[in-house]
Amino acid sequence: MGDKSLKKKYINALQVGERVNDYFVATGATLTPFRPESGKSGCFLRCTLSDRSGSLPAIMWEGGEDVFPRLQGNAIVRVLGTVGQYRGELQVVVDRLTTAVGSVDPSCFLPQAPRSRQEMEKELQIAIKKVQTEPLSWLLNDLFSDQSFYRHFIQAPAAKNVHHAYLGGLLEHTLETFCFATVVANRYPEYINRDLLFTGAILHDCGKIIEYEWEGLAFSLTDQGRLFGHLVLGAKLVEERIGRHSNFPVAIKQELIHMILSHHGTQEWGSPQPPKTINAFALHHVDYLSSELNHFQGLLDGASASASGLWTAMDWKLGRSVFRGFLTCDNAAAAREGED
C-alpha cells in the first residue's frame, strides 16, 4: 500500500463531526434491507471498524451491496466518511469504502497490552513460584514449560471486546486476578486454600488460548471456541494435563476443575454450576473485579471522544453512564497538599 497505508489517526482519538480518511480492519459485515417506509430498495451495510486503539460500528447507506462481497474475513479497508453519533455512541457513516492492496503493519491494527510484556512475564514466573503444594506446583510448571502453551498464553487476548481485549490481555488479566486472590488469601487464611486459589487464578482462563485466534488482524472465535467456550476448553485442557500425573489427588483435581467451570458465577453468565466451594467463590469475585475494573478503565479512557462534559456515553454492558468529575489520584494528592 506504500506511504498511503500509514494510519493518520486512531479510533480512540476520533470525535463527533470529524471527517475520516484512513485504514481500518473491517469485520462482521452484514446487509440489512431498508424498511419499506423509507422508500428505498436494496440493503445498507453495517460492519465494525477497528485498529489497535479500539473499534467503532460503521454504517454505509449507499453502495454497501457492491462492497459486501469483499468484506469476508478480516479485511483491511480504506474508509472515507464522517464520525457521527447514534444512541449516545460514536459510529462512522461511510461514504466510500475500498479494500486495501499490499502488505500492512499488523501493529497498527491489533491492540497491545499497555504493560510491558517482559515485565508481565517476570511477574507470571513469580506468581507460579508462590504455589508450593507439590501437585499444583507440578501442574503449573508442566503447563508453562510447554512452549506452545506458554507462547499462546502470553500473546492471547482475554476477550474480543469488553475487557482486556488486546494482545497480552489474557496475561494481564491473569496477573490482576492473581493479585486480588493474594489479598483474599491473606485476609481469610483459615478458610482459603491459598495454593488452590492461586492455581485457579493463574489457570481459570487458560481455555482462551484455544477459544480465540488473532492471526488475521482481528480477534475472532475459533470453531472450538464457538462450540464449547473457554470454561469447558480450559477445564478439559487442565484435566488432560493432570492425567499425566499418576498420583494427583482426586479432591484437588475435582475442586480445581469446579473452580474453572464455575468462575463466571452463574448459568446466565456461562457457568454450568455456580461456585460451591469458598475457593471457587473467591475466584469468581477476583476474576470479576479484574474484568469490570478494566472495562471501567477503558470506558473512562475513551470517554473524551464520545461524551460531553463530565459524563461518559451510556455503556451497554454497565447499563449506565459514568461520572468523570471526581478527583483523579494526582488531583487528590494535589488537593491534600493544598490543605497542609
Q: Is residue 111 part of a domain?
A: no
Spatial separation of the C-alpha atoms in residues 115 and 102, rounded to whole Å: 31
For 76-97, give the DSSP string: EEEEEEEEEEETTEEEEEEEEE
Q: What backbone phi and psi angles, to 5 degrees, belong to 281?
A: -65, -45
| Same domain, residue pair 278 and 185 | yes
Q: Which of 302, 217, 271 is nearest to 27 (CA)?
A: 217
Hey, what amino acid is at 85? Q
How far, in Å, are 77, 155, 276, 278, 309 from residue 260 at the CA level?
39, 20, 12, 13, 42
Range of the domain at 169: 117-297
Domain contains 306: no
What are residue 25's phi and psi, to 5 degrees?
-90, 130
**In terms of domains, do 58 and 170 share one?**
no
Predicted confidence at residue 336, as pLDDT, reads 55
Domain co-membership, 269 together with 330:
no
Which stretch of DSSP H or E encloses residue 19? Answer: strand 19-33
How many other C-beta atoms lie within 10 A of the C-beta of residue 196? 22
CATH number at residue 82: 2.40.50.140
Same domain, 148 and 270: yes
CA torsion, ordered 287, 288, 292, 294, to nearest 10 deg: 0
Structural domains counted in the chain: 3
Judgement on whether residues 62 and 210 belong to the same structural domain of the protein = no
Cell numbers given for 329: 489520584
- pLDDT at position 204 is 98
Q: How many CA atoms are closer than 13 Å to the CA of 204, on its beta-carbon side?
A: 36
Is there a domain that residue 303 lies in?
no
Give the per-residue pLDDT at 307.
Answer: 47
Nearest CA-CA partner of 316 in 109, 92, 86: 86
Enter the C-alpha cell of residue 305. Answer: 471522544
Q: Tell me if 199 sits within 8 A of 309, measured CB to CB.
A: no
In a domain, 340, yes or no: no
Report residue 146 as a C-alpha cell.
510447554
pLDDT of residue 195: 98
Domain boundary among 76, 103, 130: 103
Strand partners, 78: 23, 98
Long-range contacts, stretch 322-329, CB < 8 angstroms, 24+ apart: 322/296, 324/300
pLDDT tens-digit profile, the chain (340 residues): 444 456 888 998 899 999 999 999 998 899 999 999 888 899 999 999 988 888 899 999 999 999 999 998 778 899 999 999 988 789 999 999 998 877 677 778 888 898 999 999 999 999 999 999 999 999 999 999 999 999 999 999 999 888 999 999 999 999 999 999 999 999 999 999 999 999 999 999 999 999 999 876 778 899 999 999 999 999 999 999 999 998 999 999 999 999 999 999 999 999 999 999 999 999 999 999 999 999 988 888 765 544 456 888 788 888 888 888 775 666 555 555 655 5
CATH number at residue 258: 1.10.3210
Closest-CA residue to 6 (of 102, 111, 113, 112): 102
Let me know if residue 268 belongs to a domain: yes
Do residues 254 and 315 share a domain?
A: no
Give me the phi and psi of 197, to 5 degrees please.
Answer: -65, -40
Where is the domain boundary, 71, 103, 135?
103
200 closest CA partner among 219, 183, 177: 177
Are 212 and 157 a contacting pair, CB within 8 Å? yes
Q: CB within 8 A of 138, min separation 6: which ones?
A: 245
pLDDT the model gives residue 101: 74
